[in-house]
Amino acid sequence: MEDKTKTLQREFLKVFEKLEVVLGWEPGYDSLHATPSFIRQAKDLNKLVWNPLCSQNLCTYLVKTLNASVRKDDKKIGICVKGCDSRSLVALIQEKFITRETFYIVGIPCEGTVDWRRLMRIEPSLKDVQKVDIQGNELEVETAQKTYRFPLQQVLEQRCLHCRYPNPIIYDCLIGEPITPHIGDDQAYGDIEKIEQYSLPDRLKFWEKELDRCIRCYACRNACPLCVCRDSCIAETRTPKWLSQRCDLKEKFFYHMIHAIHLAGRCTECGECERVCPMEIPVTLIKKKLNQIVKDLLDYEAGIDPQKQPPLLTFDPGEKGI
Amino acid sequence: MRIGVFICKCGTNIAATVDTEAVARKALEYPDVVYATDYMYTCSEPGQDEIQQAIEEHDLQGVVVAACSPRMHEVTFRRAVEKAGLNRYMFEQANIREHCSWISKDTEANTRKAIDLVRMSVEKLRFNHPLFSSQVPINKRVLVIGGGISGIQAALDCAEGGLDVVMVERESTIGGKMAKLDKTFPTIDCSACILGPKMVDVAQHENIHLYAYSEIESVSGYMGNFKVDIRKKATYVDWDACTGCGLCTEKCPAKKSFDGFNEGLDTTTAINISFPQAIPKRAKIDPKYCWYLTKEKCKICQKICPVDAIRFDMKDETVVEEVGAIIVATGFDLVDHSVYGEYGGGHYPDVITGLQFERLVSASGPYEGHIIRPSDGKEPKNIVFIACVGSRDPSIGRPYCSGICCMYIAKQAILARDHIPDSNCYVFYIDIRAPGKNYEEFVRRAQEDYGVQYIRGRVGKIYPQGEHLIVQGIDTLLGIQVEVEADLVVLATGVAASVGAKELAEKLRISYDEYGFYMESHPKLRPVETNTAGVFLAGVCQGPKDIPASVAQGSAAAAKTQILFSRDTIETDPQIAKVNERMCIGCGKCIDVCPFGSIQWKTLRDGSQKAEVLDTVCQGCGLCNATCPPKAIQLQHCTDDQILAEIEVLCAGERHG
Amino acid sequence: MALLNSLRMPRDCDESFIRQVETKSRQQISKCYQCGNCSASCAYTYVYDYPVNQIMRLIQLGQKEVVLRSRSIWLCADCQACTTRCPCNIDIARVMETLRFLSVEEGTVSIKDIQLFYDEFLNSVKTFGRVFETGLLATYNLKAKKLFTDIDLAPKVLKKGKLPIIPHRIRGRKKVSDIFKRFEDYRNKKILD
Amino acid sequence: MNQTEKRIAYYPGCSVTGTAVEFDQSTRALCTALGIELVEIPDWNCCGSTPAHSYDPLLGAALAGRNLALAEEMGFHVVMTPCPSCLKALKGALREYEEKQHAFLNILQMPFSGQIRAISVLQLLYEDIGPETIREQIRYRLTNKVVVPYYGCLLSRPPEFARFDDPENPISMDELLQAMGASVPEFPYKTECCGAAYGVTQNHIVGKMTGRILDMARRLGAAAVAVACPLCQQNLDLRQSQVNRYWHTTFQMPVVYITQLLGFALGIDPKKLGIDKLFVSADDLFKETSEPLENQTESTSA
Amino acid sequence: MVNSKEESTTKKDLLIVGFLCNWCSYGGADTAGVCRFNQPTDLRIIRIPCTGRMDPLFVVKALIYGADGVLVSGCHPKDCHYNEGNFYARRRLEVLKQFLPFMGIHTDRFRYSWVSSSEGRLWQQVVTEFSETIHGLGPNPGVHGESDAKAGMSFYT
């Protein structure tokens, strides 16, 4: 893993002159976290890291923070993307928020990122971590004291367990070899099937239970690379007033429906909404269900083909089956 | 807001099954409602007076009338409240007749429903704002696209009415398909004799400016104020200088040029004039065949031209015209019959199209009106006409009837029998469609007076045998196969949308059907309008039709234009989309989905991009509103807040029972 | 050829027959607008009792009896000319095939010889796994009482060594006859769809 | 040749083991010469042909399906058959598999994926080898010989089913013949049915249909009719004597398989092509046309 | 009056919210009324210019906040007054329809249909059928805050 970090730094250094900023990851506030890094000076490039802790989808910052659609000079933005992240990038290109030419993309085939909450649940005493690495089917965590091994199934993020796109869809430079996805298209929706086994009233009860925990912190929305409304989000605007600030279940339920419906045919399943949820509500599932419907009905997956138009923003007069 | 509610009894239409008094009583409990009453006929003059009085007496700021469908009387009541000084959009109508009193006899349920409907209207009204229309001046010039009979008629009618007309024709001459016809059904009038004078009128009318050999490049703007880029294709001849003397065409050595006017039956010279009566009568060079333009030698035309009009360095040129309305009359092309392998797929020289037959029989055609076989120049004795080639054929994606073929093959068979009295004419048909004035009689004449053999059935195969073509068909009336040893076969080739029709439609933002014919606004009541305001249709571009219908449509489109131009300004409907710039995130999704191109980008001073609605173009469908993620674009008078208020009041309101 | 004198509607129209043909052939019969191209293209119209377009018309009118007893459906050689040229995209050959199948089912086969030949052919396949041409021709001619048909050709063929005297029996003939058996079971609904 | 699957499954069909044995011989010899290995499906059975299909498409499908399943089991993706009637049965099996999968598999009782493709020998020659390759490889030219191609009903029809060549005016055989140097007139009866299906049962019909085709060939000055279907061949060749009686004609028109002609042009010994098995002798054709290419090149260079 | 009282107590009104496009279905409902075609009384119609105006979230809002059924109706595809609105609508609404059951809301509580302004009879049929369906399903259980918020934290563990 060390060498990939090095390659990453080297690749950016090669082209750094042409870049305005590089988006990557750097070590976070403790040894089990990485954090997004915005590098504007070549000397800082050595801060960059790549390891299974680099969870964040950096595309989230493109529109909301960097306002990447407006470029002053011809300098590009350097960005690191995992497979899932690259789909968000493509989706943003599809929706014309950004243009491909604006970016220097370093793609990293990814075997999964670590859900530290699950890790800590298994091994609450984990500290002084020095190195985290994926070796085959196991996560290797080296601490000052000893080396732990965990089966990947137990410690990866949910999104990674169902990942079909471990390899970046677009990139200018690829670090490492492409990976074979360990899940087929047929298993991609295994997690939502679990809910569909419930009866209709049980499903409602399930969601009532889950969504009632929501504290309306909007972290899910803020972390979503495709939620680009910023201050204009209708969850908070007064005119039109779609939602009140009442903290009751109806409002929470409706808020999550707004988020999901706004992402129908657009969500790239990066799972950030769920990863950042402090209440651990499985909100990605809602979007995945919509994705499944859109795929079956309209044969479309977001963030795959930069030329394609999101299907709910277009139509086909000759369409059969609807 | 101070709201007044008026419940109409509509005689007994409503009162019989709705307790109107109870509804009015209930309405008084609603927020902002300061006055409520029921009345026998609210739409009557005394009824309207009562509303106006109430507005004055109670200082009302908004009015709800619960009565019939707003599709019936919304306009009436809006006028009534306007007279009393309110803005006409400070009015809502609850439909308690068609949607309530008339569909159930259960008075209690109906009354509950009426109460809900009034409540919803009140809630909606509470979010209403005064709206104002604006006035936009009209540029009273009209563009006619296409110089066939339909376009000519439209242009002449407009010009006669005093309008400035710009006509654009793709070919080097106007006249369209009609100019190629020999005679016309059912009168056997000479086509050139009735069309010619109209073509001359176009050329000579001071109000008409003709761009021949030109195409529409782009169209922007909207009703009243279109801007059109017209590309004048290079003719390599200075038309201001050219007199149409024709010397060049006599001397041009490149004599193998494709002769489009004669449907490829003949060849012409690289520098040519389509036909002697062409308007404008000017020469043009076909660069594909010109020796100088392809091989850089010759220049004979330049040497011989008495007025020095040849310009080998001419390039396409774009001109801009501004108009207030557009009449589209782009006509049609024939279905490509090469898809019919069983009829030779276009390889047999003596299997020709209907239009080729017209050139064959026309006195101005390549054979000076003698009907002869293209292959060997012999006079045909047995001529077969096959109907429905490229029409009524779902297998090639053309299920529609072309409407004119039955008539034109009857005419052509008559002409053939006229020209060659000892010839035999056979018409293979499926059904005969002759629903025009004197049409059926005409088809009967072909059979009764001219002895044309009509055989009910289709032809399965044509193959050459020696000098002849064996036509193998069926007589379905007898159930036996029929073989004709034919000398000439005429396919009644059907009508297809003009080449490039779809591209033009995209530029004009009008819709077209799956075959490329332009969509009228309403198939019965608005046959020459399109859904793009200010764009009208005439002729076959809208669907197959014959000459009289094309001419009628040309006149109708001209009339529609005149009506539009009878006012100096257009009043816009204020029930349209409006952007809240502060909330707009510049995602452009509204621009992508708008069916009318009525939203455009606007760059603010800080460089950010926002959506902006063109008030005169927006039709108020609200698709943008539904699409906009932050709901920054709102359809006035049907805003999210209004719909949400209606939903909320229904759901949250005390449910009965 | 069954004669039709007059039709009393709706009594004489067998709607279920129309549906049966449509379901089995997967073709929509009402699409036919009687242009006659099928009959014009058919090489056999002259030997048919009803040309193809009339067969289509008869189906449209629900004339089960007439259609299934017609000779036309058995004289169709399945050459696909009609299907290829039908402007309405109807697979007419498949409709004809469906009619043959229905006429076997109803026991109304008009040309017994053809059915006889087919039966003998299938017997041959059931027994040997392949068609034993020599045996097939002999049995057929015997049963059809056409002893002398093609008799002129026999010596020629034999001389060229083209008709083997002994049938080739494939090893898997049991498997082939099992297919027949399972098919019959299926027909008798023992195997469920 | 680059697209050729060098090994493909081969389904001969009953008729080429009997009355059309020369089609089988010439197909095998030709493919060997072109570097294609034909692997005969072991223990193949009759496809059921029209009789099974008329009885019930599902029966036909199951009979033909067994052969496809055998070929799949051997790992093949393509099965080639010289007989268009067998080809139709094989494709019919694939269609039934699509439409009534459950019943089909229940009757077949063999593993089957439906992924296999069935093609005719003509399709193999035209699409996978191609006229250009033929032109490069021939040793003898059919110069100055008029040969008319007769395709029959099924090779290209109906188009959605055959997915090969043009349904009204197929040209694959025309182009192959031209590649051999033959002169190929436009033959209007290319796809007219010859009536072969009724060869046995209704041979008065056959007389008329076959006669028309032979008559047109003679009018066009044909030295031979080229065919790619054993039923057509048998009909036009074997029954020519019956036709002559029916029409009072004296046709002596050789009816030759395209594989025989191609094999000959590529220099294969005519005996291996079963030329002696034809009823109307084509010996003259093969003798007269035997103009070795070496001579030609010499003469043109001289 | 007595009769109707009995009727209304035996068969209580449920709340069905209808969103009808002004040009076709609203007119169709008018036509049905003009022809006096008898219909159930549960429906409350909101007039919108076009089904293209229909944000699927209006449907969701109504269903979460207590409507027992939601019916959206517009012009037949290809007959849209605004050419394209219902093409967008049918995609958006179909996706929603398939999605609702995942959240525990019966898919039959939402229906969309295409009824032109001349099709009064069809409109009567649509309303009657839909109303019967909704009565069959009974009142919408709705979304309630009565769940046990302290239940297990993670769905996955």
> Which CATH number is correct for C9-106, 3.40.1160.10, 3.40.50.150, 1.10.1060.10, 2.60.260.20?
1.10.1060.10
Running DSSP on this structure, what letter comes out for residue C26? T
Task: Give the tens place of pLDDT for each residue, B374-391.
Answer: 999 999 999 999 999 999
The pLDDT tens digits for B578-592 are: 999 999 999 999 999
Domain assignment of residue A321, yes or no: no
Beta strand extents in B583-652 (DSSP E only): 599-603, 609-613, 633-635
Does one domain contain both B99 and B228? no
* Domain identity same for B375 and B432: yes
Pairing of strands B480-486, B488-493: unpaired
Q: Rounded to whole angstroms, how far apart are CA atoms A282 and A260?
A: 12
Amino acid found at A175: I
Instruction: State residue D5's pLDDT score.
Output: 47
Among C31, C39, C81, select the one facing B474 at the smallest CB separation: C39
Dist. CA C158–CA D190, nearest whole Å:
30
**CB contact at 8 A, D219 and D178:** no
Q: Is B341 on the interface with D (CB under 8 A)?
A: yes
Burial state string for B343-381 with b = 16 or more CB within 10 A and e = fewer than 16: bbebebebbbbbbbbbbbbbebbbbeeebbbbeeeeebe
φ, ψ (nearest 5 deg) of residue B339? -75, -15
Average pLDDT over residues A298-302: 93
The secondary structure of chain C in percent helix, strand, coil, rounded to multiples of 5, reads 55, 0, 45
Are residues A104 and A24 part of one domain? yes
D-side interface with B, Cβ within 8 Å? 166-169, 186, 188-189, 216, 219
The backbone torsions φ and ψ at residue A271, rounded to the nearest 5 degrees and listed phi first, read 75, 10
* Domain assignment of residue B350, yes or no: yes
Residue type, B89: Y
Task: Say if residue B80 is in the same domain as residue B205.
Answer: no
pLDDT at D200 over 90: no
Candidates B391, B288, B404, B390; CA nearest to B339 is B390
Name the CA radius of gyration of chain D, rounded: 19
Range of the domain at A141: 116-155
pLDDT more than 70, % of chain E = 85
Chain B positions touching E125 (Cβ under 8 A) are: none
Between the CA of residue C40 and those of B398, B428, B462, C61, C80, what are the distances in Å? Answer: 21, 11, 11, 21, 13
A318 domain-assigned: no
Q: Which of D160, D166, D168 to mutate to test the interface with B (most CBs of B within 10 A)?
A: D168
The mean-pLDDT minimum among A210-219, C90-99, D205-214 falls in D205-214
Q: Which domain holds residue E31?
A: 13-137
**Would B571 be classed as within a structural domain?**
no
Per the CB < 8 A criterion, the answer to whether C172 and C128 are in contact is no
Cβ separation A210–E155 shorter than 8 A = yes
Q: What local confidence, expressed as pLDDT, does residue E2 receive?
A: 39
What is the predicted ipTM? 0.64
Chains E and B, touching by 3 or more CB pairs within 8 angstroms: yes
Contact yes or no for E30 and B105 at CB 8 A: no
Q: Can you give the pLDDT at residue E81?
A: 81
Q: What share of chain C has pLDDT > 70, as a percent?
A: 90
Residue C37's closest CA among D193, B473, D190?
A: B473
B261 by Cβ neighbours in 10 Å (0-12 / 13-18 / 19+) ranks as buried
Query: What per-residue confidence (pLDDT) applies to B298?
Result: 93
User: For chain B, what percent of residues have pLDDT higher than 90?
Assistant: 89
In chain A, what is the greatest distance between 2 CA atoms, to the nearest angstrom?
Answer: 66
| Whole-number Å distance between alpha carbons of D229 and D199 | 14
Answer whether residue E5 shows pLDDT above 70. Answer: no
| The CATH number of the domain covering residues in D7-122 | 1.20.1050.140
Nearest residue to B557 (alpha-carbon basis) of B521, B517, B513: B521
Average pLDDT, chain B: 94
* Predicted pLDDT at C127: 86
- Report which of D255, D301, D297 is spatially closest to residue D138, judged by C-alpha positions: D297
Higher per-residue pLDDT: D269 or B637? B637
Please judge whether D57 and C97 are an interchain contact, meaning their C-beta atoms are less than 8 angstroms apart.
yes
- Going from N- to C-terminal start, the domains of chain C cover 9-106, 114-192
Asked whether residue B570 carries a pLDDT value surpassing 80, the answer given is yes
Q: Is residue E68 part of a domain?
A: yes
My answer on whether A83 and A124 are in the same domain is no
Q: At residue B570, what is the residue type?
A: I
The one-letter code for the residue type at B459 is V
Q: Which two tokens stand for residue B97?
A: 């007749």
The model's pLDDT over C8-51, given as tens digits with 9 standing for 90+, comes to: 888 889 999 999 999 989 999 999 999 999 999 998 898 899 99
Q: Which of A227-231, B78-82, C149-153 holds the top average pLDDT?
A: B78-82
- Largest CA-CA distance found in chain D, in angstroms, rounded: 69
Tell whether A130 and A34 lie within a shared domain: no
Task: Supply the pTM of this predicted model.
Answer: 0.69
Contacts with A314 from chain B: Cβ below 8 Å:
592-593
Answer with the residue of higher pLDDT: A134 or E13: A134
Q: Between D167, D189, D219, which is nearest B341 by CB?
A: D167
Looking at the predicted structure, is the pLDDT value of residue D202 above 70? no
Upstream peptide bond of D158 is cis (omega within 30 degrees of 0): yes
Q: Is the pLDDT of residue D204 over 80?
A: no
pLDDT tens column, B548-558? 999 999 999 99
Q: Are B60 and B2 in contact (CB under 8 A)?
A: yes
Question: Among the three residues B101, B131, B161, which one is the final residue of a domain in this structure?
Answer: B131
In a domain, A284, yes or no: yes
Q: Is A271 a domain residue?
A: yes
Give whole-number Cα distances, D163 to B357, D117, D119, D187, E156, in Å: 36, 11, 10, 22, 51
Interface partners of chain D (CB pairs < 8 Å, 3 or more) are B, C
**Is pLDDT at A256 greater than 90 in this prediction?**
yes
Asked whether residue B651 is assigned to any structural domain, the reply reads no
Residue C86 — pLDDT band, cuts 50, 70, 90? very high
Question: pLDDT band for position B525 (50/70/90)?
Answer: confident
The residue out of B510, B543, B565 marking a domain boundary is B565
Cα B564 to Cα A282, B219, B557, B618, D188, distances in angstroms: 59, 19, 11, 18, 60
Domain limits for position B590: 577-636
Q: What pLDDT sits at residue B544?
A: 97
Q: Give the end of a domain, one of A99, A125, A155.
A: A155
What's the pLDDT score for residue B426? 97
Q: What is the dihedral of CA B106, B112, B118, B123, to 10 degrees?
A: -150
d(CA A38, CA A16): 13
Burial of C31 (C-beta count, 10 Å sphere; 0-12/13-18/19+): middle
CA distance A114 to A121: 13
- Considering only CB atoms, B394 lies closest to which of C39, C53, C88, namely C88
- Whether cis (ω within 30° of 0) applies to the bond prior to B130 is no
The count of C-alpha atoms lying within 13 angstroms of the C-alpha of C164, restricted to the half-sphere facing its C-beta, is 14
Domain at B381, CATH number: 3.50.50.60
pLDDT higher than 60, residue E15? yes
Domain annotation covers residue B542: yes
Instruction: For D241-299, write each residue's pLDDT tens digit.
Output: 888 887 788 889 999 999 999 999 888 888 889 888 888 888 888 775 555 555 444 44
**Can you give the pLDDT at residue E145?**
61
The fraction of chain D above a pLDDT of 90, given in percent, is 35
Separation CA A81–CA A98 (nearest Å): 15
DSSP string, A132-152: EEEETTEEEEEESS-EEEEEH
Flag if C104 and D54 touch (Cβ within 8 Å): yes
**C148 pLDDT exceeds 70?**
no
Amino acid in position C12: D
Find residues 568-597 of chain B whose CB sits inside 8 Å of chain A: 580, 583-589, 592-593
Q: Does A298 touch chain B (CB under 8 A)?
A: no
Query: Measured between alpha carbons, how far is E17 from A80 in angstroms, rounded to an integer?
Result: 48
Residue with tokens 């005519």: D270
Tens-digit pLDDT profile for residues B25-49? 999 999 999 999 999 999 999 999 9
Percent of chain A with pLDDT over 70: 98
Residue E30 lies in a domain: yes
Tell me: pLDDT of E66 over 70.
Answer: yes
pLDDT of residue E9: 39
Chain E residues with beta carbon closer than 8 angstroms to that of B102: 33-34, 36
Token pair recorded at residue E17: 């919210």
B369 and B422 within one domain: yes
Selection from C68, C60, C58 nearest residue C98 by Cα: C68
Q: What CATH number labels D130-292? A: 3.40.50.11810
E91 → chain A, closest CA residue: A312
Q: List the one residue out of B620, B119, B80 whose CA is nearest residue E22.
A: B620
Q: Which chain C residues are Cβ-neighbours of B473 within 8 angstroms?
A: 36, 40
Do residue B529 and residue B558 come from a single domain?
yes
Cα separation, C65 vs A312, in Å, equals 53
Q: Which residue in this structure is represented by tokens 């298209």? A: A185
pLDDT tens-digit map of B109-135 = 999 999 999 999 999 999 999 999 988
Q: What is the CATH number of the domain that holds B33?
A: 3.40.50
- Cβ of E104 within 8 Å of Cβ of A254? The answer is no
Q: Establish if A227 belongs to a structural domain.
A: yes
What confidence tier does C123 reach under pLDDT thresholds 50, 70, 90? Answer: confident
Output the pLDDT for position D282.
86
**Nearest CB to B393: which of C34, C46, C87?**
C87
What residue in E sits closest to A207 (Cα-Cα)?
A: E103
* CA–CA gap between residue D217 and residue D234 (Å, rounded): 16
List all residues 6 or more positions away from C134 whose beta carbon is below 8 Å from its beta carbon: C163, C164, C165, C167, D18
Task: Assign B366 a pLDDT band (cuts: 50, 70, 90).
Answer: very high
Number of independent structural domains in chain E: 1
Kindly tell me the burial class for residue D21, based on how many C-beta atoms sit within 10 Å of its own C-beta (0-12, 13-18, 19 or more).
buried
CATH code 1.20.1050.140 region(s) in chain D: 7-122
Chain C nearest C-alpha distance from B445 (Å): 24
Whether residue D157 lies within 8 A of chain C, CB to CB, comes out as yes
Q: Are residues B165 and B30 located together in one domain of the fold?
A: no
Among B458, B478, B483, the residue to mutate for chain C (most C Cβ within 10 A)? B458
Q: Calculate what percentage of chain B has a pLDDT beyond 70.
A: 99
With touching defined as 3+ CB pairs under 8 A, do chains A and E touch? yes
Q: How far is A77 from chain B (nearest CA, A)?
A: 19
What pLDDT, on a 0 to 100 scale, did the predictor assign at position B431?
Answer: 96
Number of domains present in the structure of chain A: 2
Provide the pLDDT confidence category of residue D199 given band limits of 50, 70 and 90. Answer: low
Residue C160 has what pLDDT?
76
Helix or strand holding residue B268 (H, E): strand B267-268
CA dist B48 and B73 (Å) reads: 12
Kindly report the average pLDDT of chain E as a whole number.
Answer: 87
pLDDT of residue A224: 96
Residue D289: partners with Cβ closer than 8 Å, 6 or more residues away: D140, D141, D142, D143, D145, D264
Using one digit for the tens of pLDDT, what is the confidence trace for B221-243? 888 999 999 999 999 999 999 99
A90, A143: one domain: no
Tokens of B207: 């109000």
Is the distance from CB of B463 to CB of B359 less than 8 angstroms? no
Tell me the C-alpha distance between B648 and B123, whole Å.
9
Q: What Cα–Cα distance (Å) separates residue D294 from each residue in C113, D131, D138, D176, D181?
A: 55, 20, 11, 20, 14
Chosen for mutation from D45, D95, D112, D277 (greatest number of chain C CBs closer than 10 Å) is D45
Q: Which range is least confidently modeled, A276-285, B340-349, C159-168, D5-14?
A: C159-168
The closest of B621, B622, B648 to B634, measured between CA atoms, is B622
Q: How far apart, in whole angstroms, are the C-alpha atoms of residue D276 and residue D263?
A: 14
Amino acid present at A310: P
pLDDT tens string B394-416: 999 999 999 999 999 999 999 99
Segment B244-297, tens digit of pLDDT: 999 999 999 999 999 999 999 999 999 999 999 999 999 999 999 999 999 998
Number of domains within chain B: 5
pLDDT value of position D300: 39
